[in-house]
């Protein structure tokens, strides 16, 4: 097949949508990010191999890259190297972003992965600037970290 087509209602997308299966993607990783007004990631993440480009389609906000805060608005594109920690926060009118990256050889490591490149490394202890000092966020991230450890331990046990 020479092409695949699908449609997304940008106004009603959840926070993160992966069109991998709908578009039958094989070499381009894409994420559709739709953050509501003044909401943002509660932790940073980085990648082992994937460079990402964040393209702002609607709204405005901030992307934190390591400790640097970069204002973003409609029409901006920001490239982030794999090892840099990153997080997004929407401004008062929300933020719609397309995140794209090339797929490194050997990915996805898990063929059933939701994402075409599954090399993301969340850092639940690295709370973005906008949520630092928020005990609810710290508590939620601690729970996510525990859950991630359990999932990893379960995967390792089944691989043995």
CA atoms of 117 and 120, how far apart (whole Å): 8
Q: Which domain holds residue 153?
A: 10-159
Contact 116, 26 (CB under 8 A): yes
CA angle in degrees (0–180, nearest 5) for 77-130-16: 50
The answer to whether position 92 is within a domain reads yes
- CATH code assigned at 32: 2.60.120.10
Share above pLDDT 70 across residues of the chain, in percent, rounded to a whole number:
98
* Residue 10 three-state SS: helix
Please give the pLDDT value at position 104. Answer: 74
User: What's the pLDDT tens digit per position in 31-53?
Assistant: 999 999 999 999 999 999 889 99
Which is higher by pLDDT, 157 or 149? 149
Which is higher by pLDDT, 128 or 109? 128
Contact 44, 65 (CB under 8 A): no
What's the number of domains the chain is made of? 1
Per-residue tokens: 37: 């007004």
The answer to whether position 124 is within a domain reads yes
The answer to whether position 1 is within a domain reads no
The answer to whether position 4 is within a domain reads no
Q: Which helix (H) or strand (E) holds 131?
A: none
pTM across the whole model = 0.90
């Amino acid at each position: 097949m020479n092409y695949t087509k699908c449609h997304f209602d940008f106004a009603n997308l959840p926070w993160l949508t992966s069109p991998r299966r709908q578009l039958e993607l094989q070499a381009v990783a894409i994420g559709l990010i739709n953050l509501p007004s003044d909401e943002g990631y509660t932790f940073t993440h980085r990648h082992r191999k994937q460079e990402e480009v964040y393209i702002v389609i609607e709204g405005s906000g901030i992307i934190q890259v390591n400790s640097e805060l970069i204002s973003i608005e409609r029409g901006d594109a920001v490239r982030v190297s794999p090892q840099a920690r990153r997080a997004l926060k929407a401004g008062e009118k929300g933020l719609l972003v397309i995140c794209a990256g090339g797929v490194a050889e050997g990915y996805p490591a898990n063929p059933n992965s939701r994402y075409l490149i599954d090399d993301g490394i969340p850092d639940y202890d690295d709370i973005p600037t906008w949520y630092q000092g928020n005990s609810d966020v710290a508590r939620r991230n601690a729970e996510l970290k525990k859950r991630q450890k359990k999932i990893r331990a379960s995967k390792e046990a089944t691989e043995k």
